[in-house]
Amino acid sequence: MTRTAFVTDSTHVAHLSDGHPERPERLEAIIAQLEGRGLRERMVELAPREATDAELLRVHARSLLDAVASAAARSAWLDPDTYTRPESTGIARRAAGGLLVALEAVMRGEADNAFVAMRPPGHHATPTRPMGFCLYNNVAIAAATALEAGVERIAILDWDVHHGNGTQDAFERDSRVLYVSTHAAPFYPGTGELHDTGVGTTINIPLPHESGDAAFVAAYEQVALPALERHQPELILVSSGFDSHARDFLATLNVTTDGYNRVAQLAVDAAQRLCGGRIIASLEGGYDEHALAWCSSGLVEVLLGETPTPDPEPLDVGPGDAHERLIAEVRAIAGL
């Protein structure tokens, strides 16, 4: 039986700002779903801890740590999208540290894989700048920690609808880290262009708005999978944003719960083939509670080795746009 670790944090509720889409209800919807469907009790639950300065400094400059701490003390905004409160520093440190707890469990073989449901998200935080709702780059910190512990090759899959500019910044000059991102384009934060390949292990798949499931799944099947085969990672991390979903009110990529489930299955199967099943998915964005709930439970079912329960309220978003030319172009640029 697959042992799936689960890390979450009830203190996240104190990180909030009136009317902001990155709100506690996001995580509450996920927890309610995992409990309601009997999935939480079937995972190995691990308590989060705060990431230390030394761990955060594996990715971030000291100036970022100081900026976050001083903004939080004043409940200030770090950029027009990114709020803080006095509690935010500790909560964000637990989001980063929770992923490290999952990493430790998976690398020690105490868990086979993991789902980390924490907030705030991380993939827009660059080495020097918090931005886009993100204070610390949770996934990048986990990747840097694994590298420091001796892991030689890591892959990061990022299926959030936004490009993970912070993650790309952290690793675009490091051939040990394969970073594959699907994101809507043109869209916030404006990075992640097709030809932006770093030292050759950054693969950006900018999808037109309303692309739908066919393009999303094709991006993983025809680009991410062969890239993973070539990279031979020892560990796969997933920046698991659910805002590519058709219900999401911040974005319009039109992926359905079924599309997310299919991509989760591809990723977990790849981890089985390539790296002993070691895959850790960490929540990024996603702002519709129904989509968050059902994509998370589907992902957890896949991690547990089961068939995802279909979304009881599926959306008919049509076949989506033609994507063959784009996928062929990404493959050519990546040399796949």
Provide the residue type at 171 as one letter: F
Q: Is 158 in the site for Zn ion (CB under 5 A)?
A: no
**Quick one: which segment of 11-19, 109-117, 240-248, 255-263 binds Zn ion (CB under 5 A)?**
240-248
> How far apart, in Å, do the first and last CA atoms of the chain sit?
35
- Residue written as token pair 């944090």: 9
Provide the residue type at 73 as one letter: A
Q: Is 206 in the site for Zn ion (CB under 5 A)?
A: no
Q: How far is CA 58 from the centre of its chain?
A: 19
Order of strands across the sheet that contains 177-184: 44-46, 4-8, 113-117, 279-283, 235-240, 154-158, 177-184, 202-207
Active site residue 124: yes
Query: Cis omega before residue 319 (within 30°)?
Result: no
| Shortest Å, Cβ 162 to Zn ion | 4
Q: Is 285 in the site for Zn ion (CB under 5 A)?
A: yes
Considering beta carbons, is residue 130 or 233 the nearer one to Zn ion?
130
Considering beta carbons, is residue 3 or 124 the nearer one to Zn ion?
124
**Quick one: which segment of 74-82, 96-104, 202-210, 242-250 binds Zn ion (CB under 5 A)?**
242-250
- DSSP-based three-state secondary structure for 259: helix
**Active-site option among 124, 183, 245, 323:** 124
Among 48, 212, 241, 308, binds Zn ion (CB under 5 A): 241
Q: For the purposes of burial, counting CB atoms within 10 Å of the CB of 276, is it exposed (0-12), middle (13-18) or buried (19 or more)? A: middle
**Quick one: which segment of 5-13, 167-175, 279-287, 309-317 binds Zn ion (CB under 5 A)?**
279-287
| Shortest Å, Cβ 132 to Zn ion | 8
Find out whether 203 and 163 touch, Cβ atoms under 8 Å. no
| Shortest Å, Cβ 155 to Zn ion | 19
Among 160, 169, 248, 258, binds Zn ion (CB under 5 A): 160
**Quick one: which segment of 69-77, 147-155, 160-168, 212-220 binds Zn ion (CB under 5 A)?**
160-168
User: d(Cα 315, Cα 216) in Å, to the nearest integer?
Assistant: 16
Burial 148-176 (b: 16+ CB within 10 A, else e): eeebebbbbbbbbbbbbbbbbbbbbebeb
Q: Is 119 in the site for Zn ion (CB under 5 A)?
A: no
| Shortest Å, Cβ 128 to Zn ion | 20
Residues 243-262 as x/- pattern, contact with Zn ion by CB under 5 A = x-------------------
Q: Is 22 in the site for Zn ion (CB under 5 A)?
A: no
| Shortest Å, Cβ 105 to Zn ion | 26
Query: Around 57, how many Cα atoms within 13 Å sit in the side-chain half-sphere?
Result: 6
| Shortest Å, Cβ 250 to Zn ion | 7
Interface residues with Zn ion (CB under 5 A)?
Answer: 160, 162, 241, 243, 285
Catalytic positions are: 124
